[in-house]
Amino acid sequence: MKSILHQTLDRHGTDSVKWDGLERWFRLKSDVLPLWVADIDIRTAPAISEALAARASTGEFGYTLFSQDAQRAVRSWYGRRHDTEVDSNHVLFSNGVVPGLTHIVEALTEVGDGVVIQSPVYPPFHELVTGLQRDVFDAPLIQVADRFEMDFDALEEAMVQAKLFLLCSPHNPVGRVWSEDELKRTLELARRHDVIVVSDEIHADLTFPTQGHVALNRLDSNVITVSAPSKAFNIAGLFASYIICPNDAWRKRIIQVQNKHHVSPTPFANTAIVAAYTDPRAERWLDQLRAELEEQADYLVGRMNEALPQLTCFMPEASYLLWIDFATLGLSPDERKKWLQQDVRIFLSPGLPFGESGQTFERMNFGTRREILDEAIERLVRQIAADKQPQ
């Protein structure tokens, strides 16, 4: 099979958020390299494209239920890929992982209740909690040598005051794939303090081949999982996500909130989930992509460490996001943003929205062609060297 990650795909002029959004939203010129929002510069698996084309050819696009085939596909996927039994009746459609998390928090907590997060973490975790007028209890991750780990003392202190915990697994942006021991310890704390655990596992299927993702619902049947094929198969624009909630009472409350917000799938969402999770060709495609992403991560971190020793890169264990510490450059978040966009001419995701501990960091999306990454590194090298020259 030809390389997936290094194919040529021009996304300019396609209304791509990642590429065209720089000019439309930020008034930046087209020579700025977009290495920010979390999608990959590749075509999806051919099996999914074929299934969507066949569905489109029917010409029938009326209001659509979440199909039982899609529910069974999720059950089959978790059984094959994650060694986890899922009852298909426990699978709810969601029009995105963030809406799913939002609806769960709205359904299972009240205004003023505490919700635990572990910063630095995907910014919507902060935003949805505060937007629903719940209180954020942060248990920040800690840096141990060359990776981030959970601070279980801080986590327990936060859980004492909270009703619900939003877990990011694998973690965005630090790239950790949590071990079974770490997850078991987390669940033990949650049970001790009667905290509902909701696991965002959208990056789980991009765990690198040398790592092993542990689905949280394999360890505890009373957790809620929110996920999607969107990151793994690069179909985020189809908004084809789902919630797995075994608890009948919780599931009914979540459905009530979803109904209030008129949540329903498109015909293409159903088709994409079924094709991604049941077509063997799509599964083989995904395994190749995972291997290519790990190779790309190894290459990129090696190049960064060699060419840019001023920066600290944290090797990810899943997906295509690199967490980079720019602290030694001595720039404030606003100064660094201006420097990166106007001088270096690359666009990264600033670290501060991920939490206070991210203020010296940037998140880089390396899910693109190798030559684009090489150019980004060269631009950084040239600008840092130029900045050292006497004025």
SS3 199: strand
Predicted local confidence at residue 388, as pLDDT: 82
- pLDDT lower than 50: segments of the chain: none
Predicted local confidence at residue 9, as pLDDT: 87
Name 343's Cβ contacts closer than 8 Å, sequence gap at least 6.
Answer: 383
DSSP bridge partners of 135? 114
CB 175, CB 316: distance < 8 Å? yes
Predicted local confidence at residue 389, as pLDDT: 73
How far, in Å, CA of 309 to CA of 325, rounded?
Answer: 11
Domains of the chain are: 17-45+282-381 (3.90.1150.10), 59-279 (3.40.640.10)
Predicted local confidence at residue 336, as pLDDT: 98
Predicted local confidence at residue 1, as pLDDT: 67
Nearest of 29, 121, 10, 39 to residue 347 by alpha carbon: 29
Name 137's Cβ contacts closer than 8 Å, sequence gap at least 6.
Answer: 114, 115, 116, 117, 158, 159, 161, 162
Predicted local confidence at residue 7, as pLDDT: 85
CB 362, CB 355: distance < 8 Å? no
Predicted local confidence at residue 175, as pLDDT: 98
The tens digit of pLDDT for each residue in 256-291 reads 999 999 999 999 999 999 999 999 999 999 999 999
Say whether the peptide bond before residue 246 is cis (omega within 30 degrees of 0): no
Phi, then psi, of 168 in degrees rounded to 5: -110, 110
How far, in Å, CA of 92 to CA of 242, rounded?
Answer: 5
Nearest of 229, 224, 225 to residue 205 by alpha carbon: 229
